[in-house]
Amino acid sequence: MRDGLDWRTARPGLAGLLGPPLAWFLLFFAVPIAVVWAYSFGTNVGVAGIEISGTFANYARALEPLYLRILAKSLAFAALATLICLLVGFPVALAISFAAPRLKAVLLVGIMLPFWTNLLIRTYALIALLRDEGLINQGLLWAFGWAGFEPLPMMNSNFAVMVGLVYVHLPFTVLPLYAALDRLDRSLLEASLDLGAGHLRTIWYVVLPLASAGIASAVLLTFIPVLGSYLAPDLLGGPDSQMIANVIERQFKRANDWPFGAALAFLLMYVTFIGIALQSAHRRRIDAE
């Protein structure tokens, strides 16, 4: 350490700083996660008992075709929602990064404003928009009622679920994209434009490669929450719109099969770990270049 101090002499102070947050992490995160992980190797005993028997039967059941299809559909939903968020969020983040300082602050507050409202309230607001008697259909009926317009069936469908997923998770894409784009060296963009490249070619050949690490972070930060989302499919979707998180929720609440629910939850967590590992490998490759 500087000023002749050795880190060994600072152990008491370091322990005092790290002790409370580390104890909080262990008590309220690591221990509960470890308990749920242990449940995934257990079996139900009696009405409310769980015996940790070390069985892999729950994971074998989780790998049955029925649950693999639900997991695959969840992955497809998450990938599509992430792609839409990326296509919508990138121009928004680019516009914010080039905005004037005062306008930039206003736009960032607008992006973060949904976080100040409860997720359940935001989802019910979408129901008020998408239902047959909702604001969208009422507006279309007012505009095209003379042509025999019939309300569009948007609720209880995959379309409604996708709208809910994109609406809820779009800020998770915009904010890391903005953080990456705001750090770009503007002189490189000016050089590209001065050398004859148009705006689209500059974005494709200069901005995207330089912001690739931020794009990877945005994809990861969006994909993981979407994959674990259960409120939008539950309230906006129909019987064919259920995702893997809805199945996990039913195992813990309705079916009271905690071992199987824990196995499904950790199967989802293993998929998440794979995504994090791929993002880390991409980041190391970018740093090495």
Rounded to the nearest 10 degrees, the angle between the axes of helix 65-97 and helix 212-227 is 140
Q: What is the pTM of this model?
A: 0.84
Euclidean distance between CA atoms 74 and 232, whole angstroms? 12
Residue pair 114/122 in contact by the 8 Å Cβ criterion = yes
Question: What domains sit in the chain, N to C, each tagged with a CATH number?
Answer: 65-288 (1.10.3720.10)
Residue pair 132/123 in contact by the 8 Å Cβ criterion = no
Written as tens digits, the pLDDT of the chain (289 aa) is 455 555 566 666 666 777 788 888 888 889 999 999 999 998 888 666 788 888 899 999 999 999 999 999 999 999 999 999 999 999 999 999 988 888 999 999 999 888 888 888 999 999 999 988 888 888 888 888 777 778 888 888 999 999 999 999 999 999 999 999 988 888 888 888 878 888 888 888 888 888 888 898 899 899 989 998 989 999 998 888 889 999 999 998 888 889 999 999 998 888 888 878 877 777 777 667 6
**Roughly how many angstroms between the first and final C-alpha of the chain, as a whole number?**
31
List all residues 6 or more positions away from 260 whose beta carbon is below 8 Å from its beta carbon.
Answer: 58, 61, 62, 251
Residues constituting the chain: 289
